[in-house]
C-alpha cells in the first residue's frame, strides 16, 4: 500500500514541478507514511506531530516522529528521525536545515500543507528564495481521491467497528440518560473493540420542534451539529447521531436518526421514507462518469419540495479516507459548476448524507458510505434504520 | 472569565504592535471567544476560525449561536464554507480588519497566506501565536479553578481504571473504562488518548505483578486535567517507588524564577537518567509552553505546569500552580 502511495506522490510532485513535499498535518503524514500517533487534542497533536518529507525517488518519506512505537516496522531506519517541535524556533530551524540539504542542487518549489509561525520564520531566514506551494490543494487532495482496494477494506473495517459500537449504544438508549452518557458507552465499546482512536466528539443532537425554535442559525437553516453536553434525554426526542473512529489509519462515519423511548409517528416515518427515496435515487445513478452535479440534481428532484435535502452550510456528500471528511465535497457553496467538475471514477468514495425535514417531526438524517465500482457502486456502511424501519 | 481572557489577549496584541488576530487554533479561539465548538482529534491545517480586532470585538466561525457566549452577537458569526471567495469576503467585512496594518496569525497555510495577502494588501502578516501564548501564560484564578476541576475528573476516572486493573484485563479495556468514566463525569473530550501500559493501549493482558504505567488527560471546558501513576497489577499503587521520590525532588525545585536548567539540575542531582519525554510542560487550554527539555523558560507565579518524573520504568505526573515560593498541586489531596 505504501509503495503505491510513494509512486502517487512522486507522480503528483512531478506534475507540479515540485522538488519536495513537506507534510505536517496529522492525516496527511499518516497517509504518506502509515505511521501512527496518539490521538490528541489539536494543540498537543501539533507539538508532538509527525512530519513527513517526501523526496521523489525515495522508497518512503523521511519521517520525523516523537512516537517511535507508531513507525511501521519496515520503514527504513535511515528515513526515521527524532521528532521536531515546530512550535519552537529550535525545532523549526533544525527541520528547515534538513529540508535545505535535501533541496540542494535540485532547485524547484516545495509543497507544504501548513506553516507553524516558527517554521515560517525559519524558512524566511534560511530558504527565502525557495517558492512554497500549497500541498493540501495541489498534492494531497488529488492523491487521496481514488482509493485502492486495501483502502476500501480499511474504511469498511473502521465502519463495521463503529457500527458494532452503535448497536450497543442504541440497545441502551432510554429517557433519563444524558448525551454524555451515550458518548461514554460509545467510547468504551469502540476501544474494547480495538479502535485506534476516536476521531470526533460523538454527536447526539436533539432536534428542535421547528427550525425557528432551534438554536439561532446564521444561514436560517437547521443547525447541525451541536456539541454534546450533559443534556438529559426525554421520551420522544429525535436525535441525529454522528460518530467517527479511526482504525488502521482510516476513518468511519456513522449517521442515523434515533428516537428516545418511543416509536415513530406516521409523520416521522414519512420523513424517513423521503430520506430513503433521496438515497435510492442517488444510488440508482451512481457509476463512473456521473458528475457531482448529477448527484445533487437527482437528490433535489427526488426530494422535491421547497428546499434541497441537505443543509445550507454543508453538502449532500463528502469523501472519506484518512480524513473523516475529505474530497470530493458535493453540494457545497462552491456551487453547481464545481459540482459538475467532479466526475465519479472507480475507487472514489463518498459519504451520502441527505436529510429530510418537516417541522414537528424531528426530520431524518442518515449517512451511507458509497464506493464507486467499475459499473456502479457498493456500500461500505451496513446498519439498520430502526426504529423507523424494522 | 471570557472578558478577562479577552482583555489579556488585547493587551498582548498591544504589546506586540498587532492590530488584529486571525486564529485557527481551537485553544486560542476558545481563549478569546469562550465558544465551545466540535472537538476533532489531531493537528489540522490552519483555517480562519476566529477574529479578534483591537476594539475587542470577536468574530467567530460558527453556523449557530449554540455554544457561543451571549456577548458575541449573532451578526459576528460566520458559517462554515468551502468557498475561499466567500470566506475572504466575510473576513473583509469584519469592521476593523481591513484597516489593520498588522494582523497576527497562529498558523497559516500557503493557500491561506496567498488569499489573505490579497484580501488585506495593506497589512503585514505577523506571528500571532507568540501573542496568544504570552496572553495565556499566566492563569487567571478562574482558569486555575477550571484546571482543578478537569484534574479532578481525570483523577477520578483514573482511580476507577486502576481499580479495574486486575490480572487478565487488557490494556485497551482500561482505556475504554477510563473514557467511559470521564464521560459520566461530564467530559467527552480527551486531551489525549491515554497510556495504559503501552503508548497504544492494545490487546496485551495484564499479568499479576506487572508494573503498569497509566498516563491520562481530559479536557473539561477546554482546560486540561491530566496525571500519571504507576501500579503493580494485583497490588495497585505502590508507595515509595522511585518515581515518587524523584517527583518530590522535582517539585521541590519548582518556584518562581526557577529555570528549565534548574529543574534539570535537580533531576540530575537525583542520579536518574534523563527521559526522552519533557520533564515539564505547561497546561492550560491543552498542552502549552514551557516545555522543559525543549525550551529553557523561567517559571513565574500563576503558571500551571505538569511535572513528570520517570525513574527505572516508574512514572508519576501531576500538575501544579507555580507560586512565589514553590508550587501548589492542582489535585487536592495529592493522591499517591
Same domain, B282 and B299: yes
Cβ distance of B64 and A137 shorter than 8 Å: no
Of the pLDDT bands very low, low, confident and very high (cuts 50, 70, 90), residue A17 is confident
Locate the chain A residue with the closest alpha carbon to B171: A192
Structural domain that includes position B72: 2-136
> In terms of C-beta distances under 8 Å and separation of at least 24 residues, what long-range contacts does B101-104 make, across chains too?
B101/B19, B102/B17, B102/B18, B102/B19, B102/B20, B102/B126, B103/B18, B103/B19, B103/B20, B103/B21, B103/B22, B103/B128, B104/B13, B104/B16, B104/B18, B104/B20, B104/B21, B104/B22, B104/B128, B104/B129, B104/B131
* Chain A environment of B288 (Cβ under 8 Å): 43
B:214-253 residues touching chain A, CB 8 A cutoff: 219, 224
Residue at B156 is within a domain = yes
The per-residue pLDDT for range B8-67, each reduced to its tens digit, is 999 999 999 999 999 999 999 999 999 999 999 999 999 999 999 999 999 999 999 999
Per-residue pLDDT, averaged over A177-201, amounts to 98
Same domain, B120 and B148: no
Same domain, B119 and B159: no
Same domain, B110 and B157: no
Task: Give ∠ CA B124-A117-A90 in degrees, rounded to 5.
Answer: 135
CA distance B190 to chain A (A): 7
Residue at B175 is within a domain = yes
pLDDT higher than threshold 80 for residue B273? yes
CA distance A346 to chain B (A): 25
User: Given its phi and psi angles, is residue A17 left (phi above 0), alpha (psi -120 to 50 degrees) or beta?
Assistant: left
Quick one: angle between helices A89-103 and A117-126, nearest 10? Answer: 50
- The pLDDT assigned to A144 comes to 96
Task: Give ∠ CA B273-B241-B172 in degrees, rounded to 5.
Answer: 90
**CATH number of the CATH domain containing B322:** 3.90.230.10
Of the pLDDT bands very low, low, confident and very high (cuts 50, 70, 90), residue B335 is very low
Question: Could you tell me if A191 and B176 are in contact, meaning their C-beta atoms sit under 8 angstroms apart?
Answer: yes
Strand stretches in A265-353, DSSP E: 317-319, 326-330, 349-352
* Tally of residues, chain B: 336
Same domain, B90 and B226: no
Question: Could you tell me if A358 and A267 are in contact, meaning their C-beta atoms sit under 8 angstroms apart?
Answer: yes
SS3 B260: helix
Neighbours of B203 (CB within 10 A): 10
Q: How many domains does chain B have?
A: 2
Q: Which of B77, B106, B136 is the last residue of a domain?
A: B136
The per-residue pLDDT for range B63-112, each reduced to its tens digit, is 999 999 999 999 999 999 999 999 999 999 999 999 999 999 999 999 99
Q: Chain A contact for B295, CB < 8 A? A: yes
Among the partner residues A115, A120, A183, nearest to B188 by beta-carbon distance: A183
* Chain B environment of A334 (Cβ under 8 Å): 82-83
CA distance A175 to chain B (A): 16
Q: Chain A contact for B127, CB < 8 A? A: yes
The per-residue pLDDT for range A258-303, each reduced to its tens digit, is 999 999 999 999 999 999 999 999 999 999 999 999 999 999 999 9
The DSSP string of A34-95 is ------B-HHHHHHT--EEEE-TTSSS-EEEES-GGGS-TTS-GGGEEE---TTSHHHHHHH
SS3 B171: helix
- The pLDDT assigned to A305 comes to 81
Per-residue pLDDT, averaged over B160-165, amounts to 96
Of the pLDDT bands very low, low, confident and very high (cuts 50, 70, 90), residue A358 is very high
The per-residue pLDDT for range B294-327, each reduced to its tens digit, is 566 789 999 999 999 999 999 999 999 999 999 9
Cβ distance of B107 and A189 shorter than 8 Å: no
Q: Which of B136, B152, B183 is the last residue of a domain?
A: B136
d(CA B189, CA B225): 11
Residue at B335 is within a domain = no
* Chain B environment of A87 (Cβ under 8 Å): 129, 289
Q: Chain A contact for B70, CB < 8 A? A: no
SS3 B163: helix
d(CA A124, CA A118): 10
Q: End-to-end alpha-carbon separation of chain A, Å?
A: 39
Residue at B153 is within a domain = yes
Of the pLDDT bands very low, low, confident and very high (cuts 50, 70, 90), residue A158 is very high
Cβ distance of A67 and B45 shorter than 8 Å: no
* Chain B environment of A190 (Cβ under 8 Å): 176
Quick one: angle between helices A266-285 and A292-303, nearest 10? Answer: 150
Cβ distance of A88 and B295 shorter than 8 Å: yes
Per-residue pLDDT, averaged over B158-172, amounts to 97
- CATH architecture of the domain with range A149-379: Alpha-Beta Complex (3.90)
**CATH number of the CATH domain containing B61:** 3.40.350.10
Tell me what the pLDDT averaged over chain A comes to: 96
Cβ distance of A44 and B287 shorter than 8 Å: yes
Tell me what the pLDDT averaged over chain B comes to: 95
* Chain B environment of A164 (Cβ under 8 Å): none
Residue at B87 is within a domain = yes
d(CA A133, CA A29): 17
d(CA A77, CA A63): 10
The per-residue pLDDT for range B135-150, each reduced to its tens digit, is 999 999 999 999 999 9
d(CA B177, CA B162): 10
Enumerate the domain spans of chain A. Answer: 2-144, 149-379
pLDDT higher than threshold 80 for residue A390? no
Same domain, B221 and B110: no
Task: Give ∠ CA B274-B279-B281 in degrees, rounded to 5.
Answer: 155
Q: Please state, in angstroms and as integers, the Cα–Cα distance from residue A299 to each residue in A257, A277, A282, A285, B31, following that order.
A: 19, 9, 6, 10, 41
Same domain, B194 and B251: yes
Same domain, B57 and B152: no
Of the pLDDT bands very low, low, confident and very high (cuts 50, 70, 90), residue A168 is very high
Residue at B336 is within a domain = no
Question: Could you tell me if A254 and A245 are in contact, meaning their C-beta atoms sit under 8 angstroms apart?
Answer: no
Question: Could you tell me if A46 and A84 are in contact, meaning their C-beta atoms sit under 8 angstroms apart?
Answer: no
Give me the total of CB pairs closer than 8 Å, taking one residue from chain A and one from chain B.
Answer: 238
Same domain, B116 and B158: no
pLDDT higher than threshold 70 for residue B244? yes
Same domain, B272 and B293: yes
pLDDT higher than threshold 80 for residue B333? no
Same domain, B114 and B207: no
pLDDT higher than threshold 90 for residue B250? yes
d(CA B110, CA B27): 22
User: Could you tell me what percent of chain B has a pLDDT over 70?
Assistant: 98
Residue at B278 is within a domain = yes
* Chain B environment of A203 (Cβ under 8 Å): 38
Q: Chain A contact for B171, CB < 8 A? A: no
Q: Chain A contact for B173, CB < 8 A? A: yes
Q: Which residue has the higher pLDDT, B335 or B333?
A: B333
Q: Which of B106, B136, B166 is the last residue of a domain?
A: B136
Q: Chain A contact for B285, CB < 8 A? A: yes
**CATH code matching the domain that covers A2-144, chosen among 3.30.365.10, 3.90.1150.10, 3.90.1300.10, 3.40.350.10:** 3.40.350.10
Of the pLDDT bands very low, low, confident and very high (cuts 50, 70, 90), residue B334 is very low
* Chain A environment of B78 (Cβ under 8 Å): 218
Lowest-pLDDT choice from A11-20, A40-49, A283-292: A11-20
* Chain A environment of B172 (Cβ under 8 Å): 191-192, 194
* Chain B environment of A158 (Cβ under 8 Å): none
> In terms of C-beta distances under 8 Å and separation of at least 24 residues, what long-range contacts does B324-327 make, across chains too?
B324/B255, B324/B256, B325/B255, B325/B256, B326/B251, B326/B252, B326/B254, B326/B255, B327/B251, B327/B254, B327/B255
Cβ distance of A227 and B67 shorter than 8 Å: yes
- The pLDDT assigned to B296 comes to 63
Whether ipTM exceeds 0.95: yes
The per-residue pLDDT for range A294-327, each reduced to its tens digit, is 999 999 999 998 899 999 999 999 999 999 999 9
The per-residue pLDDT for range A50-105, each reduced to its tens digit, is 999 999 999 999 999 999 999 999 999 999 999 999 999 999 999 999 999 999 87
Amino acid at each position: 500500500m505504501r509503495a503505491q502511495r510513494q509512486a502517487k506522490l512522486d507522480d503528483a510532485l512531478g506534475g507540479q514541478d515540485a522538488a519536495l513535499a513537506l507534510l505536517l498535518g496529522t492525516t496527511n503524514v499518516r497517509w504518506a507514511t502509515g505511521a501512527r500517533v496518539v490521538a490528541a487534542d489539536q494543540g498537543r497533536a501539533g507539538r508532538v506531530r509527525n512530519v513527513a518529507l517526501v523526496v521523489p525517488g525515495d522508497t518512503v518519506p523521511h519521517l520525523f516522529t516523537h512516537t517511535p512505537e507508531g513507525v511501521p516496522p519496515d520503514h527504513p531506519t535511515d528515513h526515521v528521525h527524532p521528532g521536531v517541535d515546530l512550535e519552537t524556533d529550535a525545532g523549526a530551524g533544525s527541520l528547515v536545515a534538513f529540508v535545505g540539504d535535501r533541496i540542494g542542487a535540485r532547485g524547484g518549489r516545495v509543497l507544504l500543507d501548513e506553516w507553524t509561525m516558527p517554521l515560517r520564520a525559519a524558512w524566511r531566514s534560511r530558504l527565502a528564495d525557495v517558492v512554497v506551494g500549497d500541498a493540501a490543494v495541489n498534492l494531497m487532495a488529488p492523491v487521496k481521491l481514488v482509493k485502492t482496494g486495501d483502502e476500501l477494506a480499511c474504511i469498511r473495517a473502521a465502519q463495521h467497528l463503529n457500527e458494532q459500537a452503535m448497536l450497543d449504544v442504541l440497545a441502551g438508549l432510554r429517557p433519563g440518560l444524558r448525551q454524555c452518557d451515550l458518548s461514554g458507552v460509545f467510547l468504551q465499546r469502540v476501544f474494547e473493540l480495538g479502535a485506534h482512536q476516536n476521531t470526533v466528539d460523538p454527536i447526539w443532537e436533539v432536534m428542535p420542534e421547528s427550525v425557528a425554535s432551534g438554536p439561532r442559525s446564521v444561514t436560517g437553516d437547521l443547525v447541525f451539529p451541536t456539541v454534546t453536553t450533559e443534556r438529559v434525554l426525554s421520551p420522544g426526542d429525535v436525535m441525529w447521531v454522528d460518530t467517527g473512529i479511526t482504525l488502521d489509519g482510516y476513518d468511519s462515519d456513522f449517521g442515523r436518526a434515533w428516537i428516545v423511548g418511543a416509536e415513530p409517528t406516521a409523520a416521522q416515518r414519512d420523513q424517513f421514507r423521503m430520506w430513503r427515496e433521496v438515497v435510492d435515487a442517488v444510488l440508482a445513478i451512481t457509476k463512473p462518469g456521473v458528475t457531482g452535479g448529477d448527484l445533487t440534481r437527482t437528490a433535489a428532484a427526488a426530494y422535491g419540495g421547497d428546499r434541497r435535502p441537505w443543509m445550507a452550510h454543508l453538502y449532500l456528500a463528502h469523501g472519506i479516507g484518512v480524513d473523516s471528511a475529505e474530497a470530493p465535497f458535493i453540494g457545497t457553496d462552491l456551487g453547481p459548476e464545481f459540482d459538475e467538475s467532479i466526475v465519479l471514477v472507480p475507487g472514489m468514495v463518498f459519504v451520502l448524507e441527505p436529510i429530510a425535514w418537516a417541522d414537528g417531526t424531528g426530520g431524518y438524517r442518515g449517512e451511507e458510505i458509497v464506493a464507486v465500482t467499475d459499473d456502479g457502486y457498493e456500500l461500505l456502511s451496513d446498519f439498520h434504520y430502526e426504529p423507523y424501519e424494522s | 472569565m471570557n472578558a478577562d481572557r479577552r482583555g489579556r489577549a488585547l493587551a498582548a496584541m498591544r504589546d506586540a504592535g498587532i492590530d488584529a488576530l486571525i486564529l485557527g487554533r481551537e485553544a486560542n479561539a476558545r481563549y478569546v471567544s469562550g465558544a465551545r465548538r466540535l472537538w476533532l482529534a489531531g493537528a489540522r491545517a490552519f483555517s480562519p476560525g476566529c477574529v479578534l480586532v483591537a476594539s475587542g470585538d470577536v468574530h467567530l466561525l460558527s453556523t449557530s449561536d449554540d455554544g457561543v457566549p451571549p456577548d458575541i452577537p449573532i451578526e459576528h458569526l460566520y458559517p462554515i464554507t468551502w468557498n475561499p471567495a466567500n470566506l475572504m469576503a466575510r473576513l473583509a467585512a469584519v469592521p476593523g480588519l481591513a484597516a489593520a496594518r498588522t494582523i497576527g496569525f497562529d498558523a497559516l497555510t500557503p493557500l491561506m497566506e496567498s488569499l489573505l495577502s490579497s484580501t488585506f494588501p495593506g497589512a503585514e502578516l505577523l506571528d500571532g501565536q507568540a501573542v496568544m501564548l504570552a496572553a495565556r501564560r499566566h492563569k487567571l484564578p478562574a482558569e486555575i479553578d477550571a484546571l482543578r476541576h478537569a484534574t479532578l475528573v481525570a483523577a477520578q476516572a483514573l482511580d476507577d481504571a486502576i481499580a479495574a486493573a486486575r490480572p487478565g484485563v487488557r490494556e485497551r479495556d482500561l482505556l475504554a473504562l477510563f473514557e467511559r468514566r470521564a464521560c459520566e463525569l461530564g467530559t467527552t473530550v480527551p486531551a489525549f488518548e491515554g497510556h495504559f501500559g503501552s503508548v497504544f493501549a492494545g490487546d496485551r493482558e495484564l499479568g499479576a505483578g506487572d508494573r503498569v504505567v497509566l498516563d491520562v488527560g481530559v479536557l473539561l471546558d477546554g482546560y486540561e486535567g491530566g496525571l500519571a501513576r504507576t501500579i503493580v497489577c494485583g497490588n495497585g499503587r505502590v508507595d515509595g517507588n522511585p518515581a515518587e521520590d524523584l517527583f518530590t525532588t522535582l517539585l521541590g525545585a519548582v518556584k518562581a524564577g526557577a529555570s528549565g536548567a534548574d529543574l534539570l539540575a535537580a533531576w540530575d542531582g537525583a542520579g536518574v537518567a534523563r527521559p526522552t519525554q519533557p520533564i515539564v510542560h505547561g497546561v492550560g487550554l491543552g498542552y502549552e509552553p514551557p516545555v522543559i527539555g525543549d525550551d529553557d523558560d523561567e517559571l513565574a507565579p500563576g503558571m500551571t505546569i505538569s511535572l513528570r518524573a520517570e525513574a527505572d520504568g516508574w512514572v508519576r505526573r501531576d500538575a501544579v500552580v507555580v507560586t512565589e515560593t514553590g508550587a501548589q498541586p492542582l489535585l487536592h489531596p495529592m493522591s499517591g
